[in-house]
Chain A
Amino acid sequence: MNGVSKDDNNAIFRIRRFVFQKFPLARKRSVANSDNLLESGIIDSLGVLELVTFFQQEFSVTAADEDLTPENFQNIECMARFVERSLELQPGSAE
């Protein structure tokens, strides 16, 4: 099991930190982990691509086109769950 799987908050913390660094509106509005970032316009399609690159670099998670849905990217909790699920599906992750 990897570090992210042990502690979901770890993924949440790292994603939250990235969102606050990259999207100034999120910082300005002090968004909560469950706040919808797509509907509020804090993250747009380009922002999603930034997150995809971040997931790849930070968690070695590759998102397929089909994964880039509002369900996976609407808020920080959803993003963390998506990262967690993807890591579990990676070869060698099953205990």
Chain B
Amino acid sequence: MTTRIREANLREDQKVLTDLIQTYLDGEADNNRFRWLYLENPFGPARAWVACGDHNEAIGMAAVFPRRMYREGKTVTGCVLGDLCISTKYRSVGPTLQLQRACLACARSEEFAVAYDFPSSTMSRVYEHLGIFPAEKSVRRAKVLRIDDKIGRLVPVPVLSRLLAAVGNFALAVKSRRPSHLPDLEVRLDDAPCSSEYSALAEQVGSSWGICTVRSAEYLNWRYRRHPRLKYEFLAARRYKELVAYCTFTMADGNATIAELFGSMDNQVLTGLLRELVGLLRRRGVATVSMPVLSGDPRTGLLRKLGFWAREAVPVMGFAGGSTLTSSQMFLMHGDRES
């Protein structure tokens, strides 16, 4: 068996790529997702590679997605790797390694000043085989808002379970009800598309990080407002009508995930914003809220104080050309993943 890797033509290969992703990675990935992720990215179209088998049949693929990023205060082009999938018949690693090498050659070329990836455990092992080790890890921090399900599993008697859950939920709610000590902070849901104030905040705050995606209004509207499957909401914090921080979140199956917590690093602002979010989610009956952050994120202490406890961690790869990035240089959140 021989495997040949070729670069995909996004227009001509759309069906091939979508079929591969649908079959081997994500059954719900359709043409809308492809158009959104591969073609409509404001930072430029994706680049993809197809692995072909003996009879030129497509057996796998991988892609890189451009991002505009700050690197030491300057704007550069970066990328995130993603969508690597391979036919179950060819999972003897050879084609996977060939695809990953093609992606990495591009990601570490002069075309991209920075590249990163959130690999699965299998892909981490593939990276390791290629002599590349994680630059950081992303730790999911979770806060429990309601304990109905948990109690229901532990206590099989419905009346008793409901009673215990009500007491537990009340205790959790009271614990989070402390005031934020920042009366001039106005926190509310932003329903309209992100405007220039988001771009201004991105420039003001993002450029102060070593490496950080340019969270411009254009990017945020594409990444979240026009996401083909998930509904993201923005909870914005303003002081004297000026946007100082925001939180982007999505809900599924009774749980919420924070994709972005961006802006001011002031503990009172962040506390006020997160307490408002927790209150909102609790009113909606959400059971837990999770926020994956890098282990070196300076907000970790505050998150712990607010009841966001560390759960599982996944590796994060970061490169700048031939060298591996270190955690202190990166600001990456859940929303920095490819889709």
A-B contact pairs, 28 of them (CB 8 A): A38-B91, A44-B91, A44-B122, A45-B91, A45-B92, A45-B96, A45-B126, A46-B122, A46-B125, A48-B92, A49-B93, A49-B125, A49-B129, A52-B129, A65-B94, A65-B98, A66-B2, A66-B3, A67-B94, A68-B93, A68-B94, A68-B97, A69-B1, A69-B3, A69-B92, A70-B89, A71-B1, A74-B92
With both beta carbons as reference points, the residue of chain B lying nearest to A44 in the complex is identified as B91
Contact with A along B79-105 (1 / 0, CB 8 A): 000000000011111101110010000
- A residues near B, CB below 8 A? 38, 44-46, 48-49, 52, 65-74
Contact with A along B196-223 (1 / 0, CB 8 A): 0000000000000000000000000000
Q: How close is A41's CB to chain B, nearest CB, in angstroms? A: 10
Total interface residues on B, CB under 8 Å, equals 17
A-B interface contact total, Cβ < 8 Å: 45
Q: Verify A49–B94 contact, CB threshold 8 A.
A: no
Which chain B positions have C-beta within 8 A of A48? 92-93
Select A45's contact among B3, B93, B98, beta carbons within 8 Å. B93
Select A69's contact among B94, B101, B129, beta carbons within 8 Å. B94
| Distance, CA A68 to CA B130, complexed state (A) | 14
Which chain A positions have C-beta within 8 A of B93? 45, 48-49, 52, 68
| Distance, CA A4 to CA B151, complexed state (A) | 60
| Distance, CA A65 to CA B101, complexed state (A) | 10
